Amino acid sequence: MSDEKPTRRTPYVETFDDGPGGWICGVPSTCGPFDRLPTDVENGALICRGPWWIDYNHAPPGGGYLHLLAYIHTHPSFLSDYEKPNRFIDGGYSRDFTNARLTVRLRGEIDLKGSELVLLAQADVPGTRTGQPVAVTRDWSETTLVLRPDPSEWLCLGTRWDRTETYGYGDIRDVLADLNCDIIFVLFPLDVVPTVAVDDIHRLRPVADYPVDRDRLPTGWLDIDTIRLEYP
């Protein structure tokens, strides 16, 4: 990974008026983690529809299971062709998110089933974290998150037993100082319950290795109209 860091600190604003701009919707429940479908944008909004794939990378002893609703990579080394153009990377925006304000305008209807919509910040330190919750309302509304380097405001998700080479436990100050992987809106935590007898569900993969009770998982839809990042 290159040590050269972009320095632009004017506000990054994505309105989706000219396509997804590098943002990708989470894969549906019928797909695997590397199956990608075209990201839908309708009337200037990113369209996220459930049910969603269960991300098991942070299963216990990590923080738990989650749904990926929308994400964008912040470093060019992670980009695939289907993620281009990426207006954050192409615009040369700084990856130093320390004390930045992230505002998201959205609407939706989600049966959360005990989860919350939260921001996941990932950096190659290693470290994987979740942050403050974002309200999901039927009418358009805005939520602003202040990305403070305060460990009490974040939960480090860690990793499942066989992903220790990729995920781990890092300092939130290092994560925000160079957020060089991605930012993701996720539903977390999920109540993953198998419908058949399984000795240890956390060593296996839900859906891929055993069926799950879908009635315990979130369903619904989410439209994201604007994402704005303001540097301090």
Whether 34 has a pLDDT exceeding 70, the answer reads no
Q: How many domains does the chain have?
A: 1
pLDDT for res 37: 57
* CA–CA distance, 177 with 97 (Å, rounded to integer): 6
- In a domain, residue 4? The reply is no
Domain around 69: 12-230
pLDDT band at 130 (very low <50, low <70, confident <90, very high): confident
Tokens standing for residue 176: 């925000």
Question: Is there a cis peptide before residue 218, judged by omega within 30 degrees of 0?
Answer: no
Tokens standing for residue 70: 């929308």
Mention every residue, 6+ apart, whose C-beta is less than 8 A from residue 169. Answer: 126, 127, 156, 158
Residue 155's closest CA among 181, 185, 126, 188? 188
Query: 63's torsion region: left (phi>0), alpha (psi -120 to 50) or beta?
Result: alpha
- In a domain, residue 3? The reply is no
For residues 127 and 205, the model is more confident at: 205
pLDDT for res 2: 53
- In a domain, residue 118? The reply is yes
67 bridge partner residues: 54, 187
pLDDT for res 3: 64
CATH number at residue 150: 2.60.120.260
pLDDT for res 112: 97
- In a domain, residue 141? The reply is yes
- In a domain, residue 6? The reply is no
Q: Average of pLDDT values for 210-232?
A: 97
Task: Give the position of tokens 């590098």.
Answer: 22
- In a domain, residue 128? The reply is yes
Mean pLDDT of the chain: 92
pLDDT band at 20 (very low <50, low <70, confident <90, very high): very high
- Report helix, strand and coil shares of the chain as percent, to nearest 5: 10, 35, 50
pLDDT for res 31: 55
pLDDT for res 123: 93
Strands 219-230 and 24-25, how do they pair?
unpaired
73-122 pLDDT per residue, tens: 999 999 988 889 999 999 999 999 999 999 999 999 999 999 999 999 99
